[in-house]
Chain A
């Protein structure tokens, strides 16, 4: 026990902490500049000096730890004098242009000088000069204001792991610069902006748009971009969000955000937002009233239902909509329309993977806290680069690596280069061979127990694959594979981070089985990457063809009955169609009507042309969205929805945490998605009397066995984790219906000279929503095709040259970017930009097990273009 006295107050501590922290516990605030909660103590600014009895000199309280019997004074005359002196030094070169500086009002230096002085400095020499830099699209730097606290540099290297900036030069010429000046060319997370105590690094997007004291209210909500679900605070003036910031005490992101979360929200104020309902008349979409639109939809649905039955109607839900929206949507589809045809993009990878792992390990097996990643003793990453897909989760992996926790990556994961000790990059579609070899070797070192669980029995039946066999299939030297096994076998409870790329394959199920086996052998925890903010919510709310709310299978009579009884209605028993089957159904004519809520299926599903063909054959296509999209162009009715900032509800993130999405501003034109559905339902004769999202949540809390009694207040407390207050489904230990992988087929070598196309997950974009963000477009405005250096050499292509990529499905032309890290026979194209997305030229095969598109083996022919036709000038 340590007893310390600070300003006469006694405090007892279990373990030593810094004086600064101890003072904070007793409610005493010591001023700081270089210290920041997210960063390690630095001791550079000397603002936190305190007087310690029996110590002759003042000490920096951020680095000095308490000892038993220590007596500390934080505001004596000596201390105050010293702080004043430190500030006077800082002001020698500080620009002091507060009237012009956007930081004024929330500037630590300004606040401290106001408190401790000096009123005037004694240095009469001129101040240093350094022009303000506008080299960056979203960051503006004014190094005359920099006080060299190094918070930004420490943030960028130690937390963000980007190491894009550093302190260059020395003495009064020290500035924060990216290498060789110019643009930062970094991940643009803006976390450096967040920690800068003065106005030296600021957001260019917000320059001179408002002052901190203009903010009228703040709303704590959740980011709208990915499945991590970072907490954000929206600062509001009038009816617009002026800025999004993270707060260090709140949420799982603890003060960090990625570029999308911090800057990308501006799509909500894009002038292209849909403003009025529209109905197709004489071939074109024309503005109409809400009531006419509702009547039209209801009438059409009624007709089709009477003529073709409910099963001819299908619904597409959205991972960007709230739980409340999605719950109401599936209720509408099941009970009003009478169809289990309900699915979403989550059905392509996230849901099948989750279902697969749950079948083996039990419900909720992937519900693991993200913060646990940096605390695990090893990390295995496969199927996509988490630092691009789920950036703040990616930071956990980088943080772990900086603590010397071993990280192994399989596949191309550029954001973890330099962080992964084992980087295995197999040839396209040969991961299964590699995984099987890793498993075989692992089992040699840690054999299965004699007394086997049913799953271990299954593992025992997986055909072993030798290192050499794997080497010849996937092209990775056997030594490298066994080095990875060495590293894996030292882990006792690693995190396995699994991405979409490994799931959306013909051999997707084999990959998942091998990963499950590996997870068992390693005693690992599984994390599924999730590209949308509410993919997990889609599953929990029953937006799957075979699942009711609360993860209850439709096929089980008792669950179906129980659900129907709540509403005195009947849930259809026939299993519904998956999203891909719906599209096929629309193409073949079995599906007559499609109701799409917040999803751009004509763009986000591979083989755009096929999807568009299918959509054009529908008798009724209803689309609720906030923008005109490739899909709305085929719609018979388009309904403007409220954006993420304009509605209340909840999101469930990839760790199974329910979070409260709060309404920040009023909607300009659109309605909440659930409200639109409820209105249509009403016209169809089924009242859904919800006053607000609270009423819906209350119903969910009654109907879903998983969400018993869940409220927004539970979510606001911050720890509304899976399985909430409810009951997960009991795990059936007898695992049935798992096919053994056919190793012989999986060990087949890919053809040597072929080039395959894959999807590039761009850090700066998110499906087709981000193209409406001015901020994100200003960082990444043009899609590129990424190729490796050998392929580039073969085509004699340099970075920036245009190439054409053609497949059986079509061709696109893009500028090439060369990344020396990429495997040779693959070209990666993002799927974010209109008319130039990867899915325009990517076909698919149906994965029978998942009823989802498999994306492998899409051969592409690359050609260098001598000149881009569009850019020919006169």
Chain B
């Protein structure tokens, strides 16, 4: 079931388009924003509003790697694994994240705080190696900077 808030936000989006289905990415984003991820039930509910079949909508949802179809942690770390970052020390950054969080790519930390995902180029090659946590970009990364950055997302601050 969609919450009132989700419903209102989606309604607003629907008004922008001639065809309801055109709003599907926005609707997915709205749901993800309020729930963190999009479940099967969520797809069903959204498909109903958008006049699509669940399967069509799932095709869209799974196409975008930033729409999460599985539960994710409270914060999502997107680490760039493409050429510039790779040359500038991606491996060390990744290893330090692995060690600090105890997880590999695609995993969620045991405390449910972080999910670590690879991403191809954040468009921040000038600050390589780079990563993004939620909507915040972090560049020129070194293992040393990690504690401070991750500290910003501790439970106490959430």
Identify the A interface with B (CB < 8 A).
Answer: 153, 157, 162-170, 177-180, 418
In the complex, which residues of chain B have a beta carbon less than 8 angstroms from the beta carbon of A180? 40, 54, 58
Residue among B40, B53, B59, B65 making CB contact with A168, cutoff 8 Å: B59
CB distance from A820 to the nearest CB of B (A): 11
Residue among A157, A162, A168 making CB contact with B58, cutoff 8 Å: A168
Query: Once bound together, how far apart are the Cα atoms of A179 and B51, in whole Å?
Result: 15
Residue contact B51 to A164, C-beta cutoff 8 Å: no
Residue contact A170 to B59, C-beta cutoff 8 Å: no
Query: Once bound together, how far apart are the Cα atoms of A165 and B54, in whole Å?
Result: 9
CB distance from A42 to the nearest CB of B (A): 15
In the complex, which residues of chain A have a beta carbon less than 8 angstroms from the beta carbon of B55? 163-166, 177-179
CB distance from A471 to the nearest CB of B (A): 27
Residue contact B51 to A166, C-beta cutoff 8 Å: no
Residue contact A167 to B51, C-beta cutoff 8 Å: no
CB distance from A149 to the nearest CB of B (A): 15
CB distance from B28 to the nearest CB of A (A): 14
Q: Which residue of B lies closest to A157 (CB)?
A: B56
Query: Once bound together, how far apart are the Cα atoms of A351 and B56, in whole Å?
Result: 42
Main secondary structure of the interface of B (DSSP, over half): helix
Query: Once bound together, how far apart are the Cα atoms of A655 and B17, in whole Å?
Result: 41
Q: Which residue of A lies closest to B52 (CB)?
A: A163
In the complex, which residues of chain A have a beta carbon less than 8 angstroms from the beta carbon of B59? 153, 166-168
Asked if B43 is at the interface of the complex by the 8 Å CB criterion, the answer is yes
14 example contacts (A-B, Cβ-Cβ < 8 A) are as follows: A157-B53, A157-B56, A163-B52, A163-B53, A163-B55, A164-B55, A165-B55, A168-B59, A168-B62, A168-B63, A170-B65, A177-B58, A179-B58, A180-B54
In the complex, which residues of chain B have a beta carbon less than 8 angstroms from the beta carbon of A162? 53
Residue contact B43 to A179, C-beta cutoff 8 Å: yes
Residue contact B53 to A164, C-beta cutoff 8 Å: yes
Residue contact B56 to A166, C-beta cutoff 8 Å: yes
Query: Once bound together, how far apart are the Cα atoms of A166 and B58, in whole Å?
Result: 8
Residue contact A179 to B54, C-beta cutoff 8 Å: yes
Question: Which positions 23-73 of chain B face chain A at CB distance < 8 Å?
Answer: 40, 43, 51-56, 58-59, 62-63, 65
Query: Once bound together, how far apart are the Cα atoms of A725 and B65, in whole Å?
Result: 63
In the complex, which residues of chain B have a beta carbon less than 8 angstroms from the beta carbon of A177? 55, 58
Residue contact B53 to A169, C-beta cutoff 8 Å: no
CB distance from A857 to the nearest CB of B (A): 35
The answer to whether residues A169 and B63 also contact, given A163-B55, A179-B55, A418-B51 and a CB cut-off of 8 A, is: yes
Nearest 5 A/B pairs, CB to CB? A166-B59, A163-B53, A168-B62, A179-B55, A179-B54
Q: Which residue of A lies closest to B120 (CB)?
A: A171
Known interface pairs A153-B59, A162-B53, A180-B58; 11 further A-B residue pairs with C-beta atoms within 8 A, sorted by A's residue number: A164-B53, A164-B55, A165-B55, A166-B56, A167-B59, A168-B58, A168-B62, A178-B55, A179-B40, A179-B58, A418-B51
In the complex, which residues of chain A have a beta carbon less than 8 angstroms from the beta carbon of B51? 418
CB distance from A418 to the nearest CB of B (A): 7
Query: Once bound together, how far apart are the Cα atoms of A178 and B55, in whole Å?
Result: 6
Residue among B52, B53, B54, B62 making CB contact with A170, cutoff 8 Å: B62
Q: Which residue of A lies closest to B53 (CB)?
A: A163
CB distance from A290 to the nearest CB of B (A): 54
Query: Once bound together, how far apart are the Cα atoms of A499 and B56, in whole Å?
Result: 31
In the complex, which residues of chain A have a beta carbon less than 8 angstroms from the beta carbon of B62? 168-170
In the complex, which residues of chain A have a beta carbon less than 8 angstroms from the beta carbon of B40? 179-180
In the complex, which residues of chain A have a beta carbon less than 8 angstroms from the beta carbon of B58? 166, 168, 177, 179-180
Q: Which residue of A lies closest to B40 (CB)?
A: A180
Tally A-B pairs: CB < 8 A: 39
Identify the B interface with A (CB < 8 A).
Answer: 40, 43, 51-56, 58-59, 62-63, 65
In the complex, which residues of chain B have a beta carbon less than 8 angstroms from the beta carbon of A418? 51
Query: Once bound together, how far apart are the Cα atoms of A251 and B148, in whole Å?
Result: 72
In the complex, which residues of chain B have a beta carbon less than 8 angstroms from the beta carbon of A165? 55
CB distance from B143 to the nearest CB of A (A): 30
Query: Once bound together, how far apart are the Cα atoms of A162 and B58, in whole Å?
Result: 15
Query: Once bound together, how far apart are the Cα atoms of A180 and B54, in whole Å?
Result: 9
Query: Once bound together, how far apart are the Cα atoms of A157 and B52, in whole Å?
Result: 10
Most buried by B among A153, A169, A179, A418: A179
Q: Which residue of A lies closest to B58 (CB)?
A: A179
Residue among B43, B56, B63, B65 making CB contact with A163, cutoff 8 Å: B56
Query: Once bound together, how far apart are the Cα atoms of A177 and B51, in whole Å?
Result: 20
Q: Which residue of B lies closest to A178 (CB)?
A: B55
Query: Once bound together, how far apart are the Cα atoms of A437 and B54, in whole Å?
Result: 37
In the complex, which residues of chain B have a beta carbon less than 8 angstroms from the beta carbon of A170? 62-63, 65
In the complex, which residues of chain A have a beta carbon less than 8 angstroms from the beta carbon of B65? 170
Query: Once bound together, how far apart are the Cα atoms of A170 and B59, in whole Å?
Result: 9
In the complex, which residues of chain B have a beta carbon less than 8 angstroms from the beta carbon of A163? 52-53, 55-56
Query: Once bound together, how far apart are the Cα atoms of A153 and B53, in whole Å?
Result: 12
Query: Once bound together, how far apart are the Cα atoms of A166 and B56, in whole Å?
Result: 6
Query: Once bound together, how far apart are the Cα atoms of A168 and B56, in whole Å?
Result: 9
Query: Once bound together, how far apart are the Cα atoms of A153 and B43, in whole Å?
Result: 18
In the complex, which residues of chain A have a beta carbon less than 8 angstroms from the beta carbon of B52? 163
In the complex, which residues of chain A have a beta carbon less than 8 angstroms from the beta carbon of B56? 157, 163, 166
Query: Once bound together, how far apart are the Cα atoms of A27 and B43, in whole Å?
Result: 47
Q: Which residue of A lies closest to B60 (CB)?
A: A166
Q: Which residue of B lies closest to A180 (CB)?
A: B40
Query: Once bound together, how far apart are the Cα atoms of A307 and B152, in whole Å?
Result: 105
Query: Once bound together, how far apart are the Cα atoms of A170 and B120, in whole Å?
Result: 13
Most buried by A among B43, B53, B55, B65: B55
CB distance from A135 to the nearest CB of B (A): 14
Query: Once bound together, how far apart are the Cα atoms of A163 and B57, in whole Å?
Result: 10
In the complex, which residues of chain B have a beta carbon less than 8 angstroms from the beta carbon of A166? 55-56, 58-59
Q: Which residue of B lies closest to A161 (CB)?
A: B53
Query: Once bound together, how far apart are the Cα atoms of A418 and B55, in whole Å?
Result: 15
Query: Once bound together, how far apart are the Cα atoms of A163 and B40, in whole Å?
Result: 17
Query: Once bound together, how far apart are the Cα atoms of A180 and B41, in whole Å?
Result: 10
CB distance from A377 to the nearest CB of B (A): 21
CB distance from A166 to the nearest CB of B (A): 3
CB distance from B57 to the nearest CB of A (A): 8
CB distance from A183 to the nearest CB of B (A): 12
Q: Which residue of A lies closest to B44 (CB)?
A: A179
Q: Which residue of B lies closest to A167 (CB)?
A: B59
CB distance from A720 to the nearest CB of B (A): 39
Query: Once bound together, how far apart are the Cα atoms of A169 and B51, in whole Å?
Result: 21
Query: Once bound together, how far apart are the Cα atoms of A418 and B21, in whole Å?
Result: 13
In the complex, which residues of chain B have a beta carbon less than 8 angstroms from the beta carbon of A179? 40, 43, 53-55, 58
Q: Which residue of B lies closest to A171 (CB)?
A: B65
Most buried by A among B53, B56, B58: B53
Query: Once bound together, how far apart are the Cα atoms of A168 and B55, in whole Å?
Result: 9
In the complex, which residues of chain A have a beta carbon less than 8 angstroms from the beta carbon of B54? 179-180
CB distance from B67 to the nearest CB of A (A): 11
Q: Which residue of A lies closest to B43 (CB)?
A: A179
Query: Once bound together, how far apart are the Cα atoms of A517 and B51, in whole Å?
Result: 34
Query: Once bound together, how far apart are the Cα atoms of A165 and B51, in whole Å?
Result: 16
Query: Once bound together, how far apart are the Cα atoms of A162 and B62, in whole Å?
Result: 20
Most buried by B among A164, A166, A168, A170: A166
Query: Once bound together, how far apart are the Cα atoms of A177 and B55, in whole Å?
Result: 8
Query: Once bound together, how far apart are the Cα atoms of A169 and B70, in whole Å?
Result: 13
CB distance from A172 to the nearest CB of B (A): 13
In the complex, which residues of chain B have a beta carbon less than 8 angstroms from the beta carbon of A169? 62-63
Query: Once bound together, how far apart are the Cα atoms of A163 and B51, in whole Å?
Result: 11
Q: Which residue of B lies closest to A168 (CB)?
A: B62
CB distance from B31 to the nearest CB of A (A): 16
Query: Once bound together, how far apart are the Cα atoms of A180 and B58, in whole Å?
Result: 8
Query: Once bound together, how far apart are the Cα atoms of A696 and B156, in whole Å?
Result: 92
Q: Which residue of A lies closest to B51 (CB)?
A: A418
CB distance from B150 to the nearest CB of A (A): 29
Query: Once bound together, how far apart are the Cα atoms of A168 and B64, in whole Å?
Result: 10
Q: Which residue of B lies closest to A162 (CB)?
A: B53
Query: Once bound together, how far apart are the Cα atoms of A562 and B78, in whole Å?
Result: 88
Query: Once bound together, how far apart are the Cα atoms of A399 and B105, in whole Å?
Result: 45
Most buried by A among B52, B58, B59: B59
CB distance from B138 to the nearest CB of A (A): 25
CB distance from B25 to the nearest CB of A (A): 14
Query: Once bound together, how far apart are the Cα atoms of A164 and B54, in whole Å?
Result: 8
CB distance from A303 to the nearest CB of B (A): 63
